[in-house]
Amino acid sequence: MCLLFTGFLACAFFGIVPKAWAADSMVDRVQTIIRARLDVDPATISLSCQGEMICGIQMLPLAYRDRKQLPLWIDASLRLEKAEALAEAIDRAGEDGLLPIDYHQDAIHQLLAEVCEQASAASPTEVSPELWADLDLILTDAYLLYASHLTAGRVNPETLHTDWKINTDAVDLSASLASAASTGDVEAALKRLRPAHRGYTTLRNALADLRSQTAANGWPVLNVSKTLRPGDSSSAVGDLRHRLAVSGDLGPMDSHEDSLFFDATLASAVKHFQQRNGLKADGIAGPSTIGMLNVPIEQRIRQVVVNLERWRWLPHDLEARYIIVNTADFSLKAVENDSMDLQMRVVVGRPARRSPVFSAIMTYLVINPYWNLPTTIAVEDILPELQKDVAYLAQRGIRVLENWGLDAPEVDPTTIDWHAYHANRFPFRLRQDPGPYNALGRIKFMFPNQFAVYLHDTPNRSLFTRVQRDFSSGCIRVEAPTVLANFVLTGDKRWRPDALTEAIEKGETRTIRLKHPIPVHLVYMTSWADETGVIQFRSDIYDRDRDLDRALTRRRPNQPPDFVD
């Protein structure tokens, strides 16, 4: 039996040019079989091939329709270069963090081997037409499934998280299939389906680097029971130096210095590791740093795989100018023409009220805003304080309105028996006046969405000094709101920086419609490669990695991809 790829190229029948009439006759017979196989009601009948469930039974008739059911991967001379090219591409699916076995890998290998064996014993025209048809159908199904996963992800995020609402772009998989099958350049066709974002490419490269480190025995475990500081000298320091050299945090030349002494070079390497792992970069190897250093490389590989999937969920075009907030990194970036214009710290939702993931368009901002407290916050956070002391409201500039109507009258809070109200009975609207205590600060940035989440200023500046900044009730507090406002107002001559500052200082509430609305992407990435290609890791503050990792590794029949005809 021939071996796949290198063995196939040595198959005797590849050097044989069959008679045209014999090849044409075989293609006609394969066409007849494909037509019969696809002439079923997909709603009531499932289709299997070589024991493999065909996942795209509803899509396959469309794929073959314009070809009048002629095979896609077998040419008129019964050569298999295109089939081989797809099989090779599927074998490399792991480079994108996907599983080759999801795309009929074993069945394709077996079918190609059987075709090769039968052809070697006689000629390509003597191979069973059923075998040719099986091979073509399963290759087409594999391509459609693989292509759909590259362009939109293997897992639907909304089946895992109710607060994840990113809609990927519609992609014409039918056209992609036709291009791959007609040209035989499968890799080029698949490359066009991958996310074009630089972040996806760099993270994909990082996955390859981590796997190469795994092949070289991965990272050593540090058995360190005490904190290591600059100036220390011990065998544990030598182990720390070796560990940082293996992961690339310490340069190869530096790793050969006095291995047992904790010098300034080693402290710098510790800081580098801490920075790329979201830790306080103090150059001291304490329990948190040692714990991060001892995370197995296999776990980091899974973390990269999980985040590659999240890139596939994002819109393929983030626009030339956009704002992106990574809640797992507590950071905001403003980007224009692939260049980062500004970056700042943010405070995101705490685990009990985590910030959602979605894309929306920022259309306006409000200076000196009122804050209408969400009912959840009013009931869970404010009501218990009110029940202790009604003066709590006046101290924070919060008024009570009778209901949520536009013209709802104000109510004197001292006339209300607050103990009579609870989560299921709270008709009031609490509204905080603009001013120094207003929780939204001086500016809020509005991009209408179903979660009622937005970006805003905050009077509590101290939280931005924390390393882990998950303290909000879901909205995003920004470190430098005026700087961000100037970015989003770029190109609007009415709102130069001095005009904005003057309007804020007046203290009047004012809505500013953006002349150039800008996309805002709230994402959750616990791993990425930065602008210099250095891989970054962050803690999974919302416990989302685990669920996605389980979904990605679960072996199950997949839903067919959506076609754009």
Please name the residues in contact with 27: beta carbons below 8 A apart, sequence gap of 6 or more: 70, 71, 74, 76, 78
As a whole number of angstroms, the distance between CA 375 and CA 361 comes to: 25
- Per-residue confidence (pLDDT) for residue 8, from 0 to 100: 35
Please name the residues in contact with 439: beta carbons below 8 A apart, sequence gap of 6 or more: 371, 432, 456, 458, 459
Q: Which residues pair with 510 in a beta bridge?
A: 367
Question: Hey, what amino acid is at 82?
Answer: K
Per-residue H/E/C for 68-102? CCCCCCCCCCCCCHHHHHHHHHHHCHHHHCCCHHH
Please name the residues in contact with 240: beta carbons below 8 A apart, sequence gap of 6 or more: 222, 224, 228, 262, 266, 270, 285, 293
Indicate the length of the chain as a whole number: 565
| Residue 558: DSSP 8-state | P
Give the CB-side neighbour count of residue 532, counting CA atoms within 13 A: 4
Q: What is the pLDDT along the chain (565 residues), one digit of tens a residue?
A: 332 333 333 343 333 334 444 556 888 899 999 998 888 765 555 555 555 555 666 788 888 888 899 999 988 788 889 999 999 999 999 999 999 999 999 999 999 999 888 877 767 677 888 999 999 999 999 999 999 999 999 998 988 888 888 777 788 898 999 999 999 999 999 999 999 999 999 999 999 999 999 988 889 999 998 999 999 999 999 999 999 999 999 987 665 566 899 999 999 999 999 999 999 999 999 999 999 999 999 999 999 999 999 999 999 889 999 999 999 999 999 999 988 889 999 999 999 999 999 999 999 999 999 999 999 999 999 999 999 999 999 999 999 999 999 899 999 999 999 999 999 999 999 999 998 889 999 999 999 999 999 999 999 999 999 999 999 999 999 999 999 999 999 999 999 999 999 999 999 999 999 999 999 999 999 999 988 889 999 999 999 999 999 999 876 544 444 433 3
DSSP strand pairing (339-349 vs 331-336): antiparallel
As a whole number of angstroms, the distance between CA 490 and CA 488 comes to: 6
Contacts 24+ apart (CB under 8 A), 62-69: 62/174, 62/563, 62/565, 63/140, 63/144, 63/174, 63/177, 64/34, 64/38, 64/140, 66/178, 68/31, 69/31, 69/34, 69/35, 69/38
Domains of the chain: 6-194 (no CATH), 235-295 (1.10.101), 317-547 (2.40.440.10)
DSSP states of 250-271: S-TTGGGS-TTB--HHHHHHHH
User: In this structure, how many other beta carbons lie within 10 angstroms of the beta carbon of residue 316?
Assistant: 16
Residues annotated as part of the active site: 456, 475
- Per-residue confidence (pLDDT) for residue 125, from 0 to 100: 74
User: In this structure, how many other beta carbons lie within 10 angstroms of the beta carbon of residue 377?
Assistant: 16
As a whole number of angstroms, the distance between CA 157 and CA 554 comes to: 15
As a whole number of angstroms, the distance between CA 442 and CA 144 comes to: 50
Q: Which helix (H) or strand (E) holds 190?
A: helix 186-193
Helix (H, G, I), strand (E, B) or coil at 223: coil
Please name the residues in contact with 303: beta carbons below 8 A apart, sequence gap of 6 or more: 526, 527, 537, 545
Helix (H, G, I), strand (E, B) or coil at 392: helix
As a whole number of angstroms, the distance between CA 21 and CA 14 comes to: 18
As a whole number of angstroms, the distance between CA 355 and CA 477 comes to: 11
Please name the residues in contact with 80: beta carbons below 8 A apart, sequence gap of 6 or more: 8, 14, 73, 74, 112, 115
CB 107 within 8 A of CB 136: no
What's the predicted TM-score (pTM) here?
0.88
State how far Cα 223 lies from the chain centre: 34
Give the CB-side neighbour count of residue 340, counting CA atoms within 13 A: 12
